Amino acid sequence: MKLVRKVRIKNALGLHARPATMIVKLLLNCKSEVTFTHKRAVINAKSILSILMLAATKNTQLTVTVDGDDADDIMDKLVTVFENGFGE
């Protein structure tokens, strides 16, 4: 199953090292392919360096695509961490 959602970065510092690490840990045992799209860049969300290369700041909108067997669960978890501002 393929799911696509738009999320907005709410935390003040954007996608810096701590939120990027949180995302990668969340996706550690994920079976699905997960990508983030920002402007023209499409990155593998399981790669901390790729997430950091987006240089996404507060209020940046990302398109999250999850494609695989556990897509529902993974999308729910990702949307929740973005909505909660990564606990910051």
- Residue positions annotated with a catalytic role: 16
Instruction: Give the angle subtended at the CA of 60 by the CAs of 55 and 64, to the nearest 5°.
Output: 90
Query: Any alpha helices (H) in the chain, and if so which ranges?
Result: 17-26, 48-53, 71-83
